[in-house]
Homo-oligomer: A and B are copies of this chain.
Amino acid sequence: MTDAGPKLTDGRTRIDFQTDPSRYRHWKLELDGAVATLLMDVDEKGALFEGYELKLNSYDLGVDIELADAIERLRFEHPQVRALVLRSGKPRVFCAGANIRMLAGAAHAHKVNFCKFTNETRNGIEDASAAARLKTICAINGTAAGGGYELALAADHIILVDDASSTVSLPELPLLAVLPGTGGLTRLTDKRKVRRDLADFFCTTEEGIKGKRALEWRLVDEIAPPSKFDATVAARARALAASAPPPTQEPSMQEPSMQEPSMQEPSMQEKGIALTPLVRKRSADGVEYGCVSVELARGGRLATIVLRGPAAPPPRSAGAMLEQGADFWPLRLARELDDAVLDIRMNELDVATIVFKSVGDPRAVLDCDRFIDKQGAFWLAREIRNLWKRVLKRIDLTARSLVTLVEPGSCFAGTLAELVFAADRSYMLIGRRDGDNRPPPIIILGEANLSGRLPMSNGLSRLATRFLGEPDQLAAAGGVVGQELDAEAAERLGLVTFARDDIDWDDEVRLFLEERASFSADALTGLEANLRFAGPETMESKIFARLSAWQNWIFQRPNAVGPEGALRRYGTGQKPVFDTKRV
């Protein structure tokens, strides 16, 4: 295994996270009123990298990019869908999990980033259930092994065909000497609450568990004989869809007094928007989107992401927002920012630090936040806010140093101010710059920062996490919502790390960025993964901490990845040779 890893197929030079159903090679989305079916039918020849075929519905990152896209589109393009059925388009196999030859050949960094993205996708399925009331049923009509069963674990309801052969299994350990690292172990114990000793048996039993025992051990929710399988799945999907509240009436979000009359019309409740292709212009040194610019300074191992504030006031009504669709500024910005971060994560491994900057009117950002809050009961407003939640969580989990620079002309207010709090460090300019007649920068806090609607994976808002030890500071932040805070006020309130004037700014920021680039990349990854997540852990955060960190360790160990290790020897007919020492 060279760390460079194998070549991408089809002459690609980068991994692209943008796709749409017309380009899917591995999934088919079928819509039937409130029920959608996502059919997994992986194209063996559609691998992302050279050197392997995607047999038996095994997957690589390319397959998962399509899945993630489909889930997003369901939420925005088909809000009428209340139940999603995940099933296989192939006979006798649901999904064989992550492709083993892909894993065996992949560079360490790709393995880690692949697992992180697939975890985010599965969390996204659960988020759709919790936040958008889009329930998922996994219909296992054959073998669900490893990552295949882990995909099922992300669903609300798992139905397994009860024939003589179909099993669910997590054979990673006995077969490959790695973990079920796409949430499998954590979801077994923390979501399905399978008893630990039964989980131990299950995870060390290559052939898996079928039928009644799988049900008794709570590995699945329901079993059905082959003759009744399709009817059971269909009935369950219809029932789930019928029990879910319509898009505008989620109880937790209901704010009837703020609804506009026009929103009560069924056509508007149900009408989705098109997630139109992102406009991107890539150059050698960056990418230009509509509201986002990425500037790569590869010599300095830096990527600067500049976010542009809204160019227009918010729409006048929910209907007008629907009209704007994917062009509505907060939605467009979130999608572009997400793409930019994923692109850096996966394609720019040498970037040590991401610098966030912004340009625009902070009051205009707050106006947009307020508009979305006011329309909070309308599905599109809620989905936009939830997309921001997911994008910000993705940033929290990005293994790059993050720094936010608050300079004149910036618009870090409300939702965008979260990038100040997501950063490992922030610097804010005191006063103006010599020769720059823009006013000194300000930060304005909004409800977005304090309402808890943009939680981190630990379940707390970034400000609550930041001020765990200083509840007075959190209260003080709550007391200045809507106020224009200059650098000194922001520093005093603990909202930025350092306020610096024009004399010190350039040197201090430059030294920080140089220092960051000089440190060990791995040590920074470990440091940031610890310091960013103070306080409680949730199932989601446990997946990225307890499970992923151990998996990443195992992905370095010769027993898995060495020349005689299980991942490399799989399918060769040769048994792996293990170092027997327990560590």
- Are B521's CB and A582's CB within 8 A? yes
One of A44-52, A172-180, A315-323 at the interface: A172-180
A118 CB to nearest B CB, Å: 16
How many chain A residues sit at the interface, stated as a range, is: 35 or more
A526 CB to nearest B CB, Å: 4
Within A281-313, the residues touching B (CB, 8 Å) are: 301
Within the assembled complex, what's the spacing in Å between the Cα atoms of A363 and B296?
A: 72
CB of A546 within 8 A of chain B? yes
One of A67-75, A223-231, A349-357 at the interface: A349-357
Pick from A519, A537, A549, A552 the residue with the most CB of B within 10 Å. Answer: A549
- Are A196's CB and B579's CB within 8 A? no
Smallest CB gap from A533: residue in B: B546
- Are B520's CB and A578's CB within 8 A? yes
A561 CB to nearest B CB, Å: 10
Interchain CB contact (< 8 A) of A179 among B218, B526, B545: B526
- Are A351's CB and B582's CB within 8 A? yes
CB of A501 within 8 A of chain B? no
Smallest CB gap from A580: residue in B: B350
List B contacts of A113 (CB < 8 A).
Answer: 583
Within the assembled complex, what's the spacing in Å between the Cα atoms of A261 and B447?
A: 61
Within A143-185, the residues touching B (CB, 8 Å) are: 172-174, 177-179, 185
List B contacts of A469 (CB < 8 A).
Answer: 192-195, 218
- Are B525's CB and A350's CB within 8 A? no
Smallest CB gap from A530: residue in B: B185
A187-203 interface mask toward B, CB cutoff 8 Å, 1 = contact, 0 = none? 01110111111111101
- Are B425's CB and A521's CB within 8 A? no
A61 CB to nearest B CB, Å: 15
CB of A547 within 8 A of chain B? yes
A206 CB to nearest B CB, Å: 10
- Are B185's CB and A531's CB within 8 A? yes
CB of A554 within 8 A of chain B? yes
Within A197-240, the residues touching B (CB, 8 Å) are: 197-201, 203-204, 218
Within the assembled complex, what's the spacing in Å between the Cα atoms of A531 and B188?
A: 8
Q: Using A425-B200, A553-B556, A581-B350 as known contacts, say yes or no to A466 and B523 having CB atoms under 8 A apart.
A: no
CB of A529 within 8 A of chain B? yes
CB of A551 within 8 A of chain B? yes
List B contacts of A467 (CB < 8 A).
Answer: 195
List B contacts of A528 (CB < 8 A).
Answer: 200
Within A322-342, the residues touching B (CB, 8 Å) are: none
Within the assembled complex, what's the spacing in Å between the Cα atoms of A566 and B520?
A: 8
Interchain CB contact (< 8 A) of A470 among B177, B195, B423, B546: B195
A560-583 interface mask toward B, CB cutoff 8 Å, 1 = contact, 0 = none? 100000100000000010111111
Within the assembled complex, what's the spacing in Å between the Cα atoms of A218 and B494?
A: 14
Q: Using A547-B530, A554-B522 as known contacts, say yes or no to A352 and B195 having CB atoms under 8 A apart.
A: no
Within the assembled complex, what's the spacing in Å between the Cα atoms of A528 and B492?
A: 45
Within the assembled complex, what's the spacing in Å between the Cα atoms of A549 and B560?
A: 17
Q: Using A521-B579, A523-B178 as known contacts, say yes or no to A424 and B529 having CB atoms under 8 A apart.
A: no
Interchain CB contact (< 8 A) of A523 among B351, B399, B497, B559: B559
CB of A542 within 8 A of chain B? yes
CB of A534 within 8 A of chain B? yes
List B contacts of A351 (CB < 8 A).
Answer: 582
- Are A186's CB and B552's CB within 8 A? no
Smallest CB gap from A399: residue in B: B582
Within the assembled complex, what's the spacing in Å between the Cα atoms of A399 and B557?
A: 16
Q: List 6 A-B contacts (CB under 8 A).
A: A177-B519, A177-B522, A196-B531, A197-B424, A525-B582, A549-B549
5 new A-B pairs (CB below 8 Å) besides A179-B523, A192-B469?
A: A3-B581, A189-B468, A189-B534, A195-B470, A522-B559
